[in-house]
Amino acid sequence: MNTEYVKKIMLITLKWIFICVLIGLFSGSASAFFLVALDWVSQYREQNYFMIWLLPIGGLIIGLSYYYWGKSVVKGNNLLLEEYENPQSTIPLKMAPLVLFGTLITHIFGGSAGREGTAVQMGGAIADQFTGIFKLDNKARKTVLILGISAGFASIFGTPLAGALFALEVVYFSKINIKSIILSFLVAYIAYYTVELWEVQHTHYAIPFVPEISFITLIWVLLVSVLFGLAAMLFSRSTHFWGHLFSKIISYPPLRPFVGGCFIAVAVYLIGTTKYIGLGIPMIVDSFSNPNASYDFLLKILFTGFTLGAGFKGGEVTPLFFIGATLGSALSLVVPLPIALLAGMGFVAVFSGATHTPIACTVMGMELFGIESGIFIGIACIIAYFSSGSVGIYNAQIVKGAKYHLYQKLKRKNSELL
């Protein structure tokens, strides 16, 4: 083999490993700081109930910051997906501090939101800066964006395998190459271990008992999985509905989160509990051992859809975990399956349906709950994926694969009948 060719391949390989190390370290460190800060603001809010009345002011601050300094990055995760599909210009680094600041403001004053969107946006913005530094072309830039998404997701949830797969699956597998796959896993583990080095802890869940697979058990799994898919559909459509409504009614963007914050503050006061705002992790953990009320998941859908639709910042994934886990927990009162298994299935299945990423969600379930529950988790994620409709939480996501073909076929049949 030509020596010069081997040397060139080695240099390219070393360059990409170096890029992965940089993205993993910076994104992992950003996530570690975010997790610590998020934990602090969440505890502070719970200890100071009056903070909820300042939510409109927090919303106005977020709205003004994005209106005057963040118009180019206001699309958030959708901007990452758009740039992957149709590369235009490097994502401004200011996306990272803006979404970090906006998410912490949302949580300290009592908005209902998650954290995945923030970590992914920080990872994507950090990663894309290396496009210019290393003078990468558009094809290589797509790989860099995958690395940013992978690092952000893996580091925020402590699930490197799922993080790598999520980054690949959310942009649709057919448009990636083997290099992107290998590098996505590499950067996910670097980011994950970076958080570990900072000694930042992730939440742990457990499914202590997994029953044997039987015909009756399988029927119950299929039925509840369809419900998880419908919950995912309701969440996605609810979020988009509130976003369109606020845009239609209030023309000045900074006023949208201000008005939304007023409604949320009053609603929290009237229901007399804060369990539907913030991340809701205590509720998620509790759902694995104690049955939830049948309306818990619906109220979380309402609060989160309204919060994000109004223009507050944060992710959708942790609220999706809440919705799925509490729905599964509530179903344990009528479904003869272990409560922890139902909560765990819902935890990842609703996420699968809302993001069109059943493979990543299946792997995430096994990383979080153990491989013993893998069959149940896999079935739940796939069925929820197919039963959640064609609209997900990301407007810019290109939905392809089996689900796309199924809905296209159904659409053609319906048009023929009409």
Q: What is the pLDDT of residues 300-313, one digit of tens each?
A: 999 999 999 999 99
Same domain, yes or no, for 226 and 177?
A: no
In angstroms and rounded to an integer, the radius of gyration of the C-alpha atoms of the chain is: 21
Cβ-based neighbours of 305, under 8 Å, separated by 6 or more: 235, 238, 239, 241, 242
pLDDT digit string, tens, across residues 190-219: 999 999 999 999 999 999 999 999 999 999
pLDDT of res. 375: 96
Give the Cα-Cα-Cα angle 111, 234, 333 (nearest 5 degrees). 90
Number of domains, the chain: 2
From 167, 197, 227, give the residue that closes a domain. 197
Query: Is the confidence at residue 173, as pLDDT, over 60?
Result: no
Same domain, yes or no, for 179 and 230?
A: no
Nearest alpha carbon to residue 281 among 340, 325, 332, 225: 325
From 166, 197, 228, give the residue that closes a domain. 197
pLDDT digit string, tens, across residues 349-380: 999 999 999 999 999 999 999 999 999 999 99
Contact between 145 and 84 (Cβ < 8 Å): yes
Q: Measured between alpha carbons, how far is 297 from 238 in angstroms, rounded to an integer?
A: 13
Nearest alpha carbon to residue 149 among 191, 182, 93: 191
Contact between 268 and 274 (Cβ < 8 Å): yes
Query: Which domain covers residue 98, as residue numbers?
Result: 3-197
pLDDT of res. 2: 76
Handedness of CA 262, 267, 272, 277 (dihedral sign): negative
Same domain, yes or no, for 265 and 392?
A: yes
Same domain, yes or no, for 7 and 116?
A: yes
Backbone angles phi, psi at 212, to 5 degrees: -70, 150
**Residue 414 placed within a domain:** no
pLDDT of res. 390: 84
Helix (H/G/I), strand (E/B), else coil: 8: helix
pLDDT of res. 7: 87
Q: Measured between alpha carbons, how far is 261 from 52 in angstroms, rounded to an integer?
A: 9
Q: Measured between alpha carbons, how far is 18 from 331 in angstroms, rounded to an integer?
A: 48
Q: Which of 413 and 149 is assigned the larger pLDDT?
A: 149
pLDDT of res. 5: 82
CATH number at residue 92: 1.10.3080.10
Q: What is the DSSP string of 25-86?
A: HHHHHHHHHHHHHHHHHHHHHHH-GGGGGGHHHHHHHHHHHHHHH-GGGTTTHHHHHHHHHS
